[in-house]
């Protein structure tokens, strides 16, 4: 390999603790004409950044420091912040892992095994972006050429009065303002009111640009777009200005959200199927252990009637058989209510919840306080009442399994335009589980949130500072037709 080829292609730092994987990566990159530096740990990679590599290929799973943390350190150092980082992993391959890597500052994320052509193409693409940025900052003439031809929306603003001085064609096309109108706007006019203060602080401050931060920009027609931004200080006609390059990631976020929702739906379906099987096993066991034994006793007693000679003994045995039959009916009724509350169909939501809470309190050493307020649940359809019922059922199940609570309060409140359901327990909250006061991913919680969405509302789960958890559901008032019993 000639030195001229290496200098043309650039220098790559490859950090991977697995020698076999690192050997393959280094071999592919060197064959493509790159000069390659090798590191087996995160600390070694950070130390080798002093050699100013043009790009870093960084494994996520390093033995001493996570590759995501190494990336953050690279991006937070002013001397290395613009060095592209390509993160790779054969272990962390989920959507959440890729999102975490990109949000940690990585410029790209590939999952191993990686095809050699894909690796070299990605590296060259990232190097092209870096060289374009470097050229932009080094020469005003080159900046103008890059600025006008850039397919990403760009604008330049005056740091003194925040007035927009110039925009490129992509910005005009993307946001719907003409160049003339753009130059009458000021920087805050492009952001939502909620983000104006933060955007000014970021774009006019002395901190490095945070491309991983997501902002919302307003188009002329009021449309909001999710974007990432990078900026660079420039001097234009003797004035201190800044160039902003905008990357619209609205479709990317929508795709990631769709993938997340699809994964949640898959997990929920899997949970439903497991729950069905568990419920079948439970019912079979209880039918055998409880109802089955009662019916067997009833059958034995009925057979014994043939051998009874005295009327008094017949009456006594008949009384015992009636008690056994009554217990069997009660047991079958309890099993039926566990599958679906007929009380919900026959008498309505509040009666069904009272019955369920009574059964719950008899099964668990937990006191439940119910307050329906002035809510008329006949406003809601049968399906909507069922969603409320299942949310409360899931919440109480979670309390019994996880919270170690002694008391639960379930209350409904009517507000001007919405109905609020609050479920508060005095248990241990999430602190002992996650250590950060926030609930981890839980299919039961996701199931409740899905039901809240069907109701047109929003469900939030909060770990209280005083201990315990609050589940809060707010849903719009309904003008539903009263469901037929």
Q: Indicate the pairing of strand 224-236 with strand 215-218.
A: antiparallel
Query: Which residue's structure tokens are 């753009």?
Result: 182
Where would I find the H helices in 191-308? Answer: 196-204, 250-286, 292-304
In whole angstroms, give the CA distance from residue 60 to residue 42: 10
What's the pLDDT at 480? 36
Asked if the bond preceding 275 is cis, omega within 30° of 0, the reply is: no
8 Å CB contact between 203 and 246: no
Q: What is the pLDDT of residues 419-447, one digit of tens each?
A: 999 999 998 876 543 334 444 446 678 78
Q: Specify the fold of 3-138.
A: Rossmann fold (3.40.50)
Q: What is the pLDDT of residues 121-177, one digit of tens each?
A: 999 999 988 887 776 556 555 566 677 778 888 888 888 888 888 888 888 888 888
CATH number for domain 341-485, candidates 3.10.20.740, 3.20.20.370, 3.40.50.20, 3.30.565.10: 3.30.565.10
Q: What is the mean pLDDT of residues 360-383?
A: 88
Closest C-alpha to 177, from 217, 120, 128: 217
What CATH number belongs to 140-248? Answer: 3.30.450.20
Give the residues across from 15 on adjacent strands: 39, 58
- Nearest 5 degrees, angle CA 205-CA 209-CA 215? 95
Cα 288 to the chain's mean position, in Å?
42
Q: What is the pLDDT of residues 11-64, one digit of tens each?
A: 999 999 999 999 999 999 999 999 999 999 999 999 999 999 999 999 999 999
Taking the model in full, what pTM does it have? Answer: 0.37
């Amino acid at each position: 390999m000639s030195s001229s080829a290496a200098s043309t292609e650039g220098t790559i730092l490859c950090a991977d603790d697995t020698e076999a994987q690192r050997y393959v990566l280094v071999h592919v990159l060197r064959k493509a004409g790159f000069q390659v530096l090798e590191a087996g740990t995160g600390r070694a990679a950070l130390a080798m950044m002093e050699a100013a590599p043009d790009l870093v290929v960084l494994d996520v799973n390093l033995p001493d420091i996570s590759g995501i943390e190494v990336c953050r350190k690279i991006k937070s150092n002013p001397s290395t912040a613009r060095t592209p980082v390509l993160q790779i992993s054969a272990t962390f391959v989920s959507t959440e892992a890729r999102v975490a890597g990109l949000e940690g500052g990585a410029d790209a994320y590939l999952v191993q095994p990686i095809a050699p052509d894909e690796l070299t193409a990605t590296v060259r693409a990232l190097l092209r972006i870096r060289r374009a940025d470097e050229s932009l900052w080094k020469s005003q003439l080159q900046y103008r050429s890059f600025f006008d031809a850039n397919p990403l929306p760009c604008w330049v603003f005056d740091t003194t009065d925040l007035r927009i001085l110039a925009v490129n064609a992509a910005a005009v096309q993307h946001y719907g303002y003409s160049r003339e109108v753009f130059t009458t706007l000021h920087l805050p006019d492009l952001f939502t009111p909620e983000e104006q203060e933060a955007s000014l602080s970021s774009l006019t401050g002395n901190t490095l640009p945070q491309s991983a931060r997501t902002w919302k920009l307003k188009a002329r027609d009021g449309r909001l777009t999710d974007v990432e931004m990078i900026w660079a200080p420039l001097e234009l006609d003797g004035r201190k200005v800044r160039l902003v390059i905008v990357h619209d990631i609205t479709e990317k976020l929508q795709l990631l959200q769709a993938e997340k929702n699809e994964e949640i739906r898959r997990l929920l379906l899997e949970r439903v199927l497991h729950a069905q099987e568990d419920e079948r096993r439970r019912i079979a066991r209880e039918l055998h252990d409880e109802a089955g034994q009662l019916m067997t006793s009833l059958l034995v007693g009925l057979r014994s009637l043939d051998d009874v000679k005295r009327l008094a003994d017949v009456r006594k045995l008949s009384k015992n058989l009636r008690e056994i039959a009554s217990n069997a009916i009660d047991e079958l009724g309890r099993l039926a209510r566990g599958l679906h509350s007929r009380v919900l169909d026959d008498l309505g939501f509040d009666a069904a919840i009272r019955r369920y809470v009574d059964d719950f309190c008899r099964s668990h050493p937990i006191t439940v306080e119910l307050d329906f307020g002035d809510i008329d649940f006949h406003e809601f359809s049968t399906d909507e009442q069922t969603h409320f019922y299942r949310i409360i059922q899931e919440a109480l199940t979670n309390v019994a399994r996880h919270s170690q609570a002694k008391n639960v309060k379930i209350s409904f409140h009517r507000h001007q335009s919405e109905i609020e359901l609050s479920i508060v327990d005095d248990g241990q909250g999430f602190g002992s589980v996650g250590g950060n006061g926030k609930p981890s991913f839980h299919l039961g919680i996701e199931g409740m949130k899905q039901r809240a969405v069907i109701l047109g509302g929003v469900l939030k789960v909060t770990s209280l500072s005083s201990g315990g958890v609050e589940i809060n559901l707010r849903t719009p008032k309904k003008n539903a037709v009263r469901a037929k019993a």
